[in-house]
Amino acid sequence: MNPTAAGPRPPAVVANYLRAQIETYKKAIIYSLIIGALSLSSTVYMLEVYDRVINSRSMITLAMLTVLVIGSYVMMELLELVRHDFLQRVAIEFDRKFRVRLFDIAFEANVKRIPGGTIQGFNDLKTIRDFLPSGAVIAMFDAPMALVFLIIVFIVSPWLGVLAMVGAMVQVYIAYQTEQKTMPVLTEANRGAIDAQNYANGTLRNAQVIEAMGMMGNIHMRWMMKQRKFIQLQANASDTAGANNAISKLIQTLQSSLLLGAACWLTLKGEMLGGGGMMMVASILGGKVLQPLAQLVAQWRLVVNARDAYQRLENLLSFFPPKAASMPLPPPKGLLTVEGVIASAPSSQNPILRGVSFVVNPGECVMIIGPSASGKTTLARLIMGLWPALQGKVRLDGADVFNWNKDELGPHLGYLPQTVELFDGTLAENVARFGEVDLDEVKRVIIQVGLEDMVNALADGLHTRIGEEGSILSGGQRQRVALARAIYGKPKLVVLDEPNSNLDEAGEEALMKTLASLKAQGASLLVITHRTSVLPQSDKLLMLREGQVVMFGPRDEVLAALQKAQAEAQGLPAPSQAQAARPGPSQATPTSVASSVASQSLRAASPSPQSSGAPGQAGASKPEAPQNVSLNTSGRPATYTTAPVPPLSSMTQPGPAARKTPTPEGQS
Ligand SMILES: Nc1ncnc2c1ncn2[C@@H]1O[C@H](COP(=O)(O)OP(=O)(O)OP(=O)(O)O)[C@@H](O)[C@H]1O
Ligand SMILES: [Mg+2]
């Protein structure tokens, strides 16, 4: 599904806009008719000079005629300026109307990872904007007057009229041929150019990897191949268009001479009145009949480019309709309800999450675990209202998060994505989400995430520019700045996607303090992690596997259930719950318990979601979440398979290694 590809989607948005400009176009056509009529003044002047002045030898007549012709030329130029101004205004308005929408669309497309979030939309907008006041469009406006000229030639002499019409038909045929031969090639070339451009942009973003691993040669070759392909296509199209253009010009030039010759022949035969003057008139008017057609042929490439751009823009705009204004809602308190959510990536229909349900109460911290690609990040995106659900809903205080106006809801949400995204600007601006900077709040969150030393070491402190994507910071610092941004303004719902993946011990400690303080503030907290250090701060554990909730419940109960399952699987006596889960940072217990229990659950014990109950049954499938741990195996640990326990550090990583080592008590 590619919104920018020319497809069957019915065009509407741009067409409707252009249709709404009909009044301006009507004016432009009227002006074109007047301009066309005034362009005859040179012909009339010539006729009158030959006829009246030469015969009467009147200098005054000559002077009057000259003044008139100068006046009409000045008038014509002025009208052309006004007409150009009309068309220019339509173009500028067009740009103004769609530029902001395109920015939003590019943004939305990037959020949803759908093609279209590139610069191409802006290029297409520019192509159409440049086309709207171009010579090609003016030639179209001049076409009606060409018809008037043709009628005049017919009146002067039907034979000359036929000759002019034949010339016009040949021009139309050339235009048609040019269209047939160049359009598919140019469209293909344009597509190739866009592809090459996107490829270059993508590689520039990853320049470090390319340089470090000596991939430059291969990348360069690929880019050159893409370049070569579209340049060749463009050259082919240009050759065809150029040849047709030359023929078109030749016919236009020939037409005038042929008409003059024919008019002379008719005059000699006595079939045309008016003498030499009329012969000239017929020849000039015949040439004018062909002028707009010849101009269109000459500018055909512009026409094809504009039409392609128009099609792509239509597709893009109708693929991303403007969001309907939603009712303002009161600030959320933080009750998160995930109700039977089935979700895919926006660009596909393959479900990633398959019936996920659970509830998070304000002040509660839920630790989300699960193997790689189990759908944790996808779940985070749904909770943040970035991706829509195919079925089910994610609600905050009962309201659908996806449809909530993000400008309203955003300040109450905190999100630390798995791949940290920072922006060019100062540290304070980044932390304050580029809104009005509340320096006290910025300082509070900076201290909270343990970054005060780093800030003090910076030359301009909080006002230091951190560069594109925070390039002056280390990976761990970037993650902590993003964490500070996520908790800025005391949000009510916070989702942290692997917040400790780049953190050292001090960073982990600061993170734990941050989690504790967020809970104390009454925020609903979801922490996705592969590490166990978050366990002590977690109230509940949610385990995802293949897009389904395998387990969800109070942390200790989940750990106990997992350990019981493990013990049963190994044929050992089941430990008591107290033995199984005694979280507390001072001991190795939480991590070690989790190590032995959770790792087993994930690796060896957890049943395949497909083999268990219906999606959504797992965990708290209803908003009234059970207090006891729920397994989507109907809670029967006996269904767990036997397998030794891998170390906790790999607890969410599937693989043979995970099935080897039993975890000794205390291992973390
Ligand atoms: N934009 C996307 N388009 C299509 N499929 C996607 C997209 N993003 C993720 N997926 C697919 O969804 C599945 C779950 O991905 P997700 O990022 O949610 O996993 P995860 O549990 O966060 O994994 P990890 O622990 O490695 O971060 C994967 O199979 C992935 O290929
Ligand atoms: Mg992830």
> Per DSSP, what are the bridge partners of residue 60?
none
Q: Which amino acid residue places its CA nearest to atom 24 of ligand 1?
A: 372
Tell me if 534 sits within 8 A of 500, measured CB to CB: yes
pLDDT grade for 583, boundaries at 50, 70 and 90:
very low
Does the beta carbon of 344 sit less than 6 angstroms from any atom of ligand 1?
Answer: no
Task: Tell me what pLDDT residue 73 has.
Answer: 92
Task: Tell me what pLDDT residue 432 has.
Answer: 92
Does the beta carbon of 110 sit less than 6 angstroms from any atom of ligand 1?
Answer: no
pLDDT grade for 5, boundaries at 50, 70 and 90:
low
The larger pLDDT score, comparing residue 482 to residue 608, is at 482
Q: Has residue 494 got a pLDDT over 90?
A: yes
Q: Has residue 641 got a pLDDT over 70?
A: no
Q: How many of the other CB atoms lie within 10 Å of CB of 568? A: 18
Q: Has residue 355 got a pLDDT over 80?
A: yes
Q: Has residue 604 got a pLDDT over 90?
A: no
Q: Which amino acid residue places its CA nearest to atom 31 of ligand 1?
A: 373
Task: Tell me what pLDDT residue 188 has.
Answer: 86
Task: Tell me what pLDDT residue 528 has.
Answer: 95
pLDDT grade for 240, boundaries at 50, 70 and 90:
confident
Of the ranges 202-211, 223-232, 300-309, 517-526, the best mean pLDDT one = 517-526
Task: Tell me what pLDDT residue 575 has.
Answer: 53
Reduced DSSP (H G I as helix, E B as strand, rest coil) percent helix, strand, coil of the chain, to 5: 60, 10, 30
Lowest mean pLDDT: which of 42-51, 88-97, 378-387, 540-549?
Answer: 42-51
Does the beta carbon of 547 sit less than 6 angstroms from any atom of ligand 1?
Answer: no
Tell me if 458 sits within 8 A of 427, measured CB to CB: yes
Closest listed ligand to the CA of 369: 1
The mean of the pLDDT values for the chain is 79
Of the ranges 434-438, 467-471, 596-600, the best mean pLDDT one = 434-438
Which pairs with CB-CB distance under 8 Å and at least 24 residues apart come from 625-630?
625/358, 625/359, 625/552, 625/553, 626/553, 627/553, 627/554, 627/557, 628/553, 628/554, 628/557, 629/551, 629/552, 629/553, 629/554, 629/557, 629/558, 629/560, 629/561, 630/551, 630/552, 630/553
Lowest mean pLDDT: which of 102-111, 151-160, 544-553?
Answer: 102-111
- The percent of residues in the chain predicted with pLDDT above 90, rounded, is 28
Region of 616 (left: φ > 0; alpha: ψ -120 to 50; beta: rest) is left
Q: How many of the other CB atoms lie within 10 Å of CB of 132? A: 21
Of the ranges 119-128, 275-284, 368-377, 589-598, the best mean pLDDT one = 368-377
3-state SS string for 592-642:
HHHHHHHHHHHHHHCCCHHHCCCCCCCCCCCCCCCCCCEECCCCCHHHCCC
Average pLDDT over residues 348-371: 92
Task: Tell me what pLDDT residue 613 has.
Answer: 34
**What tokens were used for 656?**
């043979």
The larger pLDDT score, comparing residue 587 to residue 441, is at 441
Q: Has residue 119 got a pLDDT over 80?
A: no
- Ligand 1 centre to CA of 420 (Å) is 16
Cβ-based neighbours of 96, under 8 Å, separated by 6 or more: none
- Ligand 2 centre to CA of 499 (Å) is 11
CA 61 – CA 52 distance, rounded (Å): 8
**What tokens were used for 625?**
């979440």
Task: Tell me what pLDDT residue 439 has.
Answer: 92
Of the ranges 313-322, 482-491, 643-652, the best mean pLDDT one = 482-491
CATH of domain 336-531: 3.40.50.300
The larger pLDDT score, comparing residue 401 to residue 651, is at 401
Position of tokens 């090459």?
196
Q: Has residue 640 got a pLDDT over 50?
A: no
Average pLDDT over residues 331-350: 89
Q: Has residue 26 got a pLDDT over 50?
A: yes
Atom of ligand 1 nearest to the CA of 347: 3
Does the beta carbon of 351 sit less than 6 angstroms from any atom of ligand 1?
Answer: no
Tell me if 550 sits within 8 A of 651, measured CB to CB: no
Alpha helices in 451-504, H assignment, sequence order: 452-457, 475-487
DSSP state of 472: T
Does the beta carbon of 372 sit less than 6 angstroms from any atom of ligand 1?
Answer: yes
The larger pLDDT score, comparing residue 519 to residue 212, is at 519
Average pLDDT over residues 205-228: 83
Lowest mean pLDDT: which of 224-238, 384-398, 440-454?
Answer: 224-238
CA angle (382, 384, 386) in 5-degree steps: 65
**What tokens were used for 477?**
């610092």
Of all helices (H) and strands (E), which one includes residue 181?
helix 158-205
Give residues whose Cβ lies within 5 Å of ion ligand 2.
Answer: 376-377, 418
pTM of the model: 0.65
CA 431 – CA 446 distance, rounded (Å): 8
- Ligand 1 centre to CA of 515 (Å) is 25
Of the ranges 195-209, 248-262, 405-419, the best mean pLDDT one = 405-419
Average pLDDT over residues 395-414: 89
Q: Which amino acid residue places its CA nearest to atom 2 of ligand 1?
A: 345
Task: Tell me what pLDDT residue 585 has.
Answer: 39
pLDDT grade for 172, boundaries at 50, 70 and 90:
confident
Of the ranges 118-127, 339-348, 411-420, 594-603, the best mean pLDDT one = 411-420
Of the ranges 193-207, 319-333, 422-436, 630-644, the best mean pLDDT one = 422-436
Residue type at position 418: Q
Task: Tell me what pLDDT residue 516 has.
Answer: 92
Task: Tell me what pLDDT residue 655 has.
Answer: 35
Q: Has residue 663 got a pLDDT over 60?
A: no
In 3D space, the residue among 106, 114, 5, 3 whose CA is nearest the CA of residue 387 turns out to be 114
Closest listed ligand to the CA of 416: 2
Closest listed ligand to the CA of 375: 1
Lowest mean pLDDT: which of 122-126, 242-246, 547-551, 565-569?
Answer: 565-569
Does the beta carbon of 376 sit less than 6 angstroms from any atom of ligand 1?
Answer: yes
- Ligand 1 centre to CA of 82 (Å) is 56
Average pLDDT over residues 256-262: 85
Q: Has residue 646 got a pLDDT over 60?
A: no
Average pLDDT over residues 123-136: 91
Q: Tell me the C-alpha to C-alpha distance, in Å, between residue 466 and each of 426, 460, 481.
A: 6, 11, 10
Q: Which amino acid residue places its CA nearest to atom 30 of ligand 1?
A: 373
CA 28 – CA 387 distance, rounded (Å): 46
Task: Tell me what pLDDT residue 611 has.
Answer: 37
The strand pair at 365-369 and 391-396 is best described as unpaired
CA 224 – CA 238 distance, rounded (Å): 20
Task: Tell me what pLDDT residue 143 has.
Answer: 86
Instruction: Determine the residue of 341, 369, 374, 542 to mutate for testing ligand 1's pocket, defined as the one with the most ligand atoms within 8 A of the Cβ atom.
Output: 374
Task: Tell me what pLDDT residue 541 has.
Answer: 93
Task: Tell me what pLDDT residue 338 has.
Answer: 94
Q: Which amino acid residue places its CA nearest to atom 20 of ligand 1?
A: 373
